[in-house]
A and B are shown apart, each in its own frame.
Chain A
């Protein structure tokens, strides 16, 4: 378990330089993905999950930019900075060039499955044509070989009559079937890592279950690692091995999945879990997390969660907590970034309760709608 991980991200910072200021979408996250495991990346909308996952492929669009950190994949540097002779930070020599990233990493080594299967396929070409072209391009097969391969992949992901469906257009597929096609496309080049960016959010629960089963089966078969970006704690419990909980560009808790659910260490994770219905608890009313996540352009001082934290004390306003190993679960570190676990240094116990901190929203409620109109649909989870 302690061998070199497949992917290691250290202190990654991605910022967007907008006219109103610098948006620190991802602010110093570190995590790793080992071979054959599914790592969850969980958080509310706007926590920086998608930006973080796109940063791994260096696909951050203007005006965004990765400004710090190191991404290592299979010993190769996807992103790394060093101090140049003039004292300015510059890209490291061993960093892969854009061309190498495009031809070797994207699609071949790290593939992506996107959120909305309705929009992830080009409507003007046949499903089979797109799959075939993708295989042709990335694996250097001939047209006929790629077609055979494409039909095999379609069969593999459980599409009935793949020879006939091969000739059909995306609009002739249902949402679940399209997501299967996208999974086939992601798996087609047998990548070592697949980034699944909320792949089941747009599907209804029965189809979601089928897709999760499919991913589980395929993962057993191919041994592919996954980064599973989601806001759905139910999916996390179902599929992930380890979980990273993100809040406002930071990872606040990092733990194996069982540990996270049964021995929650961070108040934010706790609040997230309290806000969804759980079969093992009977409550009259779900506890939604008060307020909305502030914008990353001007994050709160100290602990970023303190304005909404039920446990916040005066010290939380001042001290920015570092992630600390707070428990050990079968050799796996359980890390959390909260001053509660830093009691001696920060003086959490002595600190006074924060007046009116809980529920004092920094933003108007409408701003959440603007950030994530889809958020209201996911009624099952309460406030996500």
Chain B
């Protein structure tokens, strides 16, 4: 009796397990899974926050709501002349608070140091007197959208190439994958710099496209390896036997079933992209002044590190938190989408 019972018990248990494994599809399940996972949940919060801030900066370009109307819009002001230049016209609302009291203007005429935090300028101002908080918030916009857009470019081109190569195989596969490997063999930073120079000039959008192109090979390879196993499934054969077009088979059957690992990778990749674009801006190939960008802010502030370390710390912190958010979310997504990992 006891044996019978235990067998019965184990049977129902395994049946439940199987059901669980098979129920691991769909958005609702994935989201629920992420919410259960503490680190992934924090990742989700950070990403949601950063995206909200970035979107907010577009809607309310003076950030009046965020700062209770205290901050004037300096973010996109023209590159201003040196602080105490005789012809400089101070922007409205600019006070004297950001003038460091311990460096009298007369003595430090060439290089006035930005001040520490006040109520008007919570993070102080940079070397040209622009509010640092505003610039960090605007920097979110550039970094996050650049990260998402260039990852998306890499993802879509890579998915199409990988799916087509994997599905058709043979010569198509050979040609497409050799081209992709050629791109892969060039060091990414050099590829991006050459690309931006080649298409004519430094602009954030060329950098975005360039970064996207460097990610194509990775995505193409991930999706191709998945497609190679998916295309042997009976439902693909069944679709072909019922007269579905190849294009529809790829879009409706092959891609949706091979997408999970790519999605995870893309989330992790957004963090990497932000870092790469920050690096590019640091080198001067990304966002161009006066557009605020964290990498470019780091670039400028490293000259003032001895005077005011915070100018380097704030953008660095912003980059770190954002990337950590995307990485945590990516890890959580990986666990949630992998049916083998059981919590």
Contact surface of A with B, Cβ cutoff 8 Å: 54, 57, 59, 62, 101-103, 105-108, 111-112, 114-116, 119-125, 133-134, 137-138, 169, 171-172, 182, 185
Contacts and interface: CB of A to CB of B under 8 A. Distances in A.
B25 interface: yes
B27 to A, nearest CB: 11
B235 A120 contact: yes
B233 interface: yes
B256 A107 contact: no
B243 A103 contact: yes
B237 A114 contact: yes
Contacts of B169: 62
Interface in B198-252: 233-235, 237-245, 252
A115 B238 CA distance: 10
Nearest to A182: B238
30 contacts: A54-B241, A57-B241, A59-B237, A62-B169, A62-B170, A101-B243, A103-B243, A105-B243, A106-B241, A106-B242, A106-B243, A107-B243, A108-B243, A111-B241, A111-B242, A114-B234, A114-B237, A119-B233, A120-B234, A122-B252, A123-B25, A124-B25, A124-B256, A124-B257, A134-B242, A169-B25, A169-B26, A171-B19, A171-B22, A171-B25
B23 interface: yes
B258 to A, nearest CB: 10
A119 B238 CA distance: 10
The bracket for how many chain B residues form the interface is: 20 to 34
Nearest to B246: A102
Secondary structure class of chain B's binding surface, majority of residues: helix
Interface string B14-40: 000001001101100000000000000
Contacts of A124: 25, 256-257
A262 to B, nearest CB: 35
A172 B22 CA distance: 8
Contacts of B243: 101-103, 105-108, 137-138
Given A122-B253, A125-B252, A169-B25, 9 more contacts: A116-B234, A120-B234, A120-B238, A123-B25, A133-B252, A134-B242, A137-B242, A137-B243, A185-B238
Given A124-B25, A124-B257, A171-B23, A119 B234 contact: yes
A277 B22 CA distance: 37
A120 B256 CA distance: 15
A119 B235 contact: yes
Contacts of A182: 238
Contacts of B19: 171
B240 A59 contact: yes
Contacts of A121: 235
B84 to A, nearest CB: 64
Contacts of B242: 106-107, 111-112, 134, 137-138, 185
A102 B244 CA distance: 7
B241 A112 contact: yes
A115 B237 CA distance: 11
Nearest to B236: A122
Interface in B1-60: 19, 22-23, 25-26
> Nearest 8 CB-CB pairs, A to B?
A107-B242, A106-B243, A171-B22, A112-B241, A119-B234, A107-B243, A120-B234, A114-B234
A112 B238 contact: yes
A115 B234 contact: yes
Contact of B245 (A102, A116, A171): A102
Contacts of B244: 137
A117 to B, nearest CB: 9
A102 B25 CA distance: 31
Nearest to A108: B243
A62 B26 CA distance: 34
Contacts of A108: 243
Nearest to A117: B234
A354 B75 CA distance: 96
A124 B30 CA distance: 14
Nearest to A137: B244
A175 to B, nearest CB: 12
A137 B19 CA distance: 32
A20 B312 CA distance: 64
Contacts of B257: 122-124
A75 B244 CA distance: 24
A54 B25 CA distance: 32
A124 B24 CA distance: 10
Contacts of B252: 122, 125, 133
Q: Which one of A124, A133, A138 has the highest number of Cβ atoms from chain B below 10 Å of its Cβ?
A: A124
Contacts of B22: 171-172
A219 B2 CA distance: 48
Contacts of A169: 25-26
Contacts of B237: 59, 112, 114
A310 B298 CA distance: 86
B206 to A, nearest CB: 37
Contacts of A137: 242-244
Contact of A122 (B26, B170, B235, B245): B235
